[in-house]
């Protein structure tokens, strides 16, 4: 059972601390690679691990914040959130939303948008950030699935991402860690892992 939370601010602060820790670790790894004390394969494996941990931290953030908003808890700026649910507490909110489902999916943008429309008035404040960033979030979900499963389905999803980056599927498929270290085509000052951290921080700031 997940730990019950009381305030959106505490959930956000914990998330921010964890992401900062992951980014600092990445900076250290990049420095070690630059001075030759870390091999390329090791760097790729570490980038993959940092991405996976960052993805999990964000999943935990949106789950906890959504359950708080479903109780009618206010945002960190004091603005009210109107919920259609009237749960007794944090865990009751989760049980109400889960209902007869085996589990609640917190990594699918479409599921979260639909959930926000069902349980929060106008989907506020979750729906808009998810709608605007749905494509990028779905790409990161595909990367997460490839790391976690390496199945025929996840490989097909990963190949779509590679095709977008390279214009074709490369003859030798790079690991997810190697892809995360590639320079972004949108911003050549960043590699993909940094773009991921930037997006989840942006999402959390818009939703908190």
Q: What is the pLDDT of residue 3?
A: 83
* 149: CB partners within 8 A, 6+ apart: none
Q: What is the pLDDT of residue 4?
A: 87
What is the mean predicted confidence (pLDDT) over 183-190? 94
What CA–CA distance (Å, rounded) separates 40 from 181? 10
Q: Is the pLDDT of residue 44 over 80?
A: yes
Q: What is the pLDDT of residues 51-64, one digit of tens each?
A: 999 999 999 999 99
Q: What is the pLDDT of residue 54?
A: 98
Average pLDDT of the chain is 96
Q: What is the pLDDT of residue 133?
A: 98
3-state secondary structure of 15: helix
What is the mean predicted confidence (pLDDT) over 36-65? 97
What CA–CA distance (Å, rounded) separates 81 from 123? 9
Ramachandran angles phi, psi of 169, nearest 5°: -80, 120
Q: Is the pLDDT of residue 1 over 70?
A: no
What CA–CA distance (Å, rounded) separates 123 from 110? 12
What is the mean predicted confidence (pLDDT) over 181-203? 97
Q: What is the pLDDT of residues 101-153, one digit of tens each?
A: 888 999 999 999 999 999 999 999 999 999 999 999 999 999 999 999 999 99
The proportion of the chain whose per-residue pLDDT surpasses 90, expressed as a percent, equals: 94
Q: What is the pLDDT of residue 92?
A: 95
> Counting Cβ atoms within 10 Å, is residue 143 exposed (0-12), middle (13-18) or buried (19+)?
buried
What is the mean predicted confidence (pLDDT) over 12-35? 98
């Amino acid at each position: 059972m997940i730990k019950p939370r009381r305030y959106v601010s505490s959930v956000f602060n914990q998330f921010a601390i964890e992401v900062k820790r992951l980014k600092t670790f990445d900076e250290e790894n990049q420095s070690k690679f630059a001075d030759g004390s870390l091999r390329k394969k090791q760097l790729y494996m570490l980038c993959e691990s940092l991405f996976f941990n960052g993805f999990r931290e964000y999943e935990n953030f949106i789950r906890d914040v959504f359950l708080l908003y479903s109780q009618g808890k206010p945002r960190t700026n004091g603005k009210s959130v109107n919920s259609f649910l009237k749960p007794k507490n944090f865990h009751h909110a989760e049980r109400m939303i889960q209902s007869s489902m085996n589990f609640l999916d917190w990594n699918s943008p479409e599921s979260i948008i639909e959930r926000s429309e069902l349980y929060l008035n106008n989907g506020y404040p979750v729906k808009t950030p998810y709608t605007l960033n749905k494509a990028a979030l779905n790409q990161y979900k595909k990367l997460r699935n490839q790391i976690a499963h390496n199945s025929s389905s996840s490989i097909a999803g990963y190949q779509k991402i590679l095709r977008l980056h390279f214009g074709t599927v490369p003859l030798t498929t790079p690991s997810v860690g190697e892809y995360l270290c590639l320079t972004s085509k949108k911003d050549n000052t960043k590699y993909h892992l940094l773009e991921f951290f930037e997006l989840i921080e942006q999402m959390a700031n818009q939703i908190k």
